[in-house]
Copies of this chain bind each other. A is one copy, B any other.
């Protein structure tokens, strides 16, 4: 059994700091902000250099053009706008990856774009088309069971279904909405058990108590504060203890092609 651990990274902007470099020791893939919701050209370059140095898989993390809202606010964007935003951001990051001699392996939409593309088929299609048009070798990360995963498959992309360590699931397999009290798993032991169950049994226990099938290729962890990094370290150790290989979706040395 194998699993990928991914986290968002490179979310600094100008003088502003965010994120702990140490997280790169515990994840196998990073999603790098591309300047729309966070990140700036200098930050992107340094982040790509760090990712290459730590040997983690590099992905683009395109978001909405909403620095003020950190790309977390839903916006009434058209599929054409989403397509263009994703093409633009993948391209910008890919140039840094190329300049540093690395390879880009995947794309994971950020924040509100991730959430909207999970349920809105037209936006999901726009994201998938953008990824395919720029580089069909890129892996598309999306919420397990979402429209985005379906769109990726329909566009011939390899997809990575994502599950969450610290979020609860409903009986129908969807995430419990964030505004619910029980949406987040605070107990680290419980979060680790959830991940182990997802990886080994391809099932998750819902808040209703039922077991639901879930197909996860990658687990989302966070690196923005020290507590999050500690949890990632614990989770990484727990997975290894159980004989589960923590590794990226694609072997990095023969990753996506020409971009």
Which A positions have Cβ atoms within 8 angstroms of B? Answer: 13-18, 35, 40-42, 44-45, 65-70, 73-77, 80-81, 83-85, 87-96, 98-99, 112, 130, 133-135, 258-259
Q: A74-B75, A75-B75, A92-B95 are in contact. List 7 more A-B contacts (CB 8 A).
A: A13-B13, A13-B67, A15-B18, A41-B81, A74-B76, A94-B94, A99-B133
Query: Pick the contact of A35 from B66, B74, B88, B130 — CB < 8 Å?
Result: B88
Identify A18's interface contact among B16, B74, B77, CB under 8 A: B16
Q: Contact check, B65 vs A68: say whether CB atoms are below 8 A apart.
A: yes
Q: Tell me the bound Cα distance from A81 to B41 in angstroms.
A: 8
When the two chains form their complex, are residues A88 and B41 in contact, meaning their CB atoms are under 8 A apart? yes
When A and B form their complex, which 10 residue pairs have the shortest distance between CB atoms, in order from nearest? A91-B95, A41-B84, A16-B16, A99-B133, A74-B76, A41-B88, A92-B92, A91-B92, A91-B91, A15-B70
Ordered by A's residue number, 25 sampled pairs between the chains whose C-beta atoms are within 8 Å are A14-B68, A16-B18, A45-B83, A45-B87, A65-B66, A65-B68, A66-B66, A66-B75, A69-B77, A74-B75, A75-B76, A84-B96, A88-B95, A89-B92, A90-B95, A91-B92, A91-B93, A94-B95, A95-B134, A95-B259, A98-B133, A98-B134, A98-B259, A99-B133, A258-B258
Minimum CB–CB distance from A155 to chain B (whole Å) comes to 13
The copy count of this chain in the complex is 4
Q: Most chain-B CB neighbours within 10 Å: which of A15, A35, A85, A258? A: A15
Q: Are A99 and B134 interface neighbours, CB within 8 A?
A: yes
B18 engages A40 (CB within 8 Å): no
With both chains docked as a complex, state the minimum distance between the C-beta of A63 and any C-beta of chain B, in angstroms. 12
Residue of B nearest to A43 (CB): B84
**Residue ID in chain B nearest A14 by CB atoms:** B68
Instruction: Verify A73–B69 contact, CB threshold 8 A.
Output: no
Is the pair B73, A76 in contact by a Cβ cutoff of 8 Å? yes
CB distance from A176 to the nearest CB of B (A): 19
Chain B residues near A17 (CB, 8 Å)?
16
